[in-house]
A and B are shown apart, each in its own frame.
Chain A
Amino acid sequence: MSKYLVNKFLYTVDRDHDLTERYRTDPAGTVAWWEVEMAGTLLNAIDAERTTWLSFTDAERDALVAHDHVALFEMGAHPFLTLTLWIAMFERDHPEPLAMQLDYAARLAHVTQPYPDITT
């Protein structure tokens, strides 16, 4: 489990308009590309300083490819990051204000406290 790397994916995709759209339309391709090109990029350093050891687990990769926010929540991904990115990608598909957010919550209705630990 690499909650840090999952959060890094959500963080870098959410803050970049082009990446957000790319992840919406091509999740499998974007996740595969991101893991090769972006996962090791230290966000405040040149490419020569890449991290050499970070990678997703199969479950993490599958959840990201499936746009499965429930699985990401259960893994301990940071809920603010996931929600913000999901709003950017999917709010447009819902005709009513907050319909997307309420559907997002309903899919998590089975979750009881304590919620999964989000500590990285």
Chain B
Amino acid sequence: MADLVAVLATTHHPFYYRTSQLPPEERPPFAEEWISKIATYRETLTRARPDVLVMVGSDHFHQLWLDNMPQFLVGKAPFYDANWENEIREFGMPKLLLKGDEELSAYMLREGLDRGFDLAFSNELRIDHSVTCPILTVRPEADLPIVPIYTNIFAPPLPKPERFVQLGRTIREIIDAWPSHLRVAVIGSGHLSLELGGPRQFGPTGPDPEFDYRAVEWISNGDIDGCLREVTLDSLHAPGNATHGFMDFMLMMGVAGHEKANHADHLSLFHTMEAYFTWYPNPHLVDPPLGGVPTIGATA
């Protein structure tokens, strides 16, 4: 059976790449701490030595559109071109070409369908920054094959938070049952409180820091039940009009299960809170073993 060696849940900030590429003298004051936290976070994946990455993200109206919007979609292609013209224009991100793992995609689709998720699929998926931001931060070599999974957190009607958690649990079951010798990491990206295109956008902090701190606690502690008690599809409007991206964090909590994160860290930026979490389902598969390398903000 395959080994699930790491589960990572992260915010995806499209300006990180550009910020990190600036000469030190041109970087904004928060850049050094941000870059340092990312370097530590990257190590949490490196030490898991994955062979393949399952990448959970959400298309931002790039390829998936309102004439045919899937709620959950699995990429099933040998390669994925990545980053779109208007992301390059707005964020300065590079174009990428990522390898796919068609075997795991096919298995994920078959098993997902059989386990109660009517997953859509795409044989020609162009990836956007919800997936490429984590690639550029935790695997900048972009050398591992991926299986992209897109969720709809963007175009109502949306699935409920419970459904995201259920899909996460199902993804975990499917990977655990995959007849393969490969080491798999699941990396998902979402938002904490976020406002885009509304009156509370781009403030000195995220639109709802209180929500952000509670969210960090839920995720750090694997408190799926507490999170589900307080978060509903309707309530997610209150912390900011783009906060439904938090449901991708809930999906990742489903993958990780009711476990405390082995690494949890966050950083308040001018309009959002960044947050980074890593779980190791089997501590014996991590190199060096858990506890060998202290990590900033680690909770276990």
Q: Which of A11, A88, A115, A117 contacts B198 (CB 8 A)?
A: A115
By beta carbon, the residue of chain B nearest A114 is B237
Q: Is B201's CB under 8 angstroms from A104's CB?
A: yes
By beta carbon, the residue of chain B nearest A69 is B197
Q: Secondary structure of the A side of the interface?
A: helix
A29 to B107, CA, bound (A): 50
A28 to B221, CA, bound (A): 54
Q: Is B201's CB under 8 angstroms from A81's CB?
A: no
Q: Is A83's CB under 8 angstroms from B201's CB?
A: yes
Q: Is A118's CB under 8 angstroms from B156's CB?
A: yes
- Tell yes or no: A120 within 8 A of B by CB: yes
Q: Is A105's CB under 8 angstroms from B202's CB?
A: yes
Q: Is A120's CB under 8 angstroms from B155's CB?
A: yes
- Tell yes or no: A48 within 8 A of B by CB: no
Q: Secondary structure of the B side of the interface?
A: loop
- Tell yes or no: B117 within 8 A of A by CB: no
By beta carbon, the residue of chain A nearest B234 is A114
Within 8 A of A (CB), among B236-254: 237-238, 241-242
With known contacts A15-B85, A113-B237, A80–B90 Cβ distance under 8 A: no
With known contacts A80-B61, A82-B197, A115–B237 Cβ distance under 8 A: yes
- Shortest beta-carbon distance from A2 to chain B in Å: 11
With known contacts A17-B85, A119-B157, A120-B66, A98–B61 Cβ distance under 8 A: no
- Shortest beta-carbon distance from A111 to chain B in Å: 5
Q: Is A15's CB under 8 angstroms from B84's CB?
A: yes
Chain A 43-85: CB-based contact to B (< 8 A → 1; otherwise 0):
1100000000000000000000000000001000011111110
Within 8 A of A (CB), among B37-72: 60-62, 65-68
> Of residues B84, B86, B155, B242, which shows the largest number of chain A Cβ atoms within 10 Å of its Cβ?
B86
A86 to B68, CA, bound (A): 25
Q: Is A88's CB under 8 angstroms from B197's CB?
A: no
- Shortest beta-carbon distance from A3 to chain B in Å: 9
With known contacts A15-B84, A108-B198, A114-B237, A81–B67 Cβ distance under 8 A: no
- A interface vs B, CB < 8 Å? 4, 7-8, 11, 14-15, 17, 42-44, 73, 78-84, 87-88, 98, 101-102, 104-106, 108-111, 113-115, 117-120
- B interface vs A, CB < 8 Å? 60-62, 65-68, 84-86, 89-90, 154-157, 196-202, 237-238, 241-242, 270
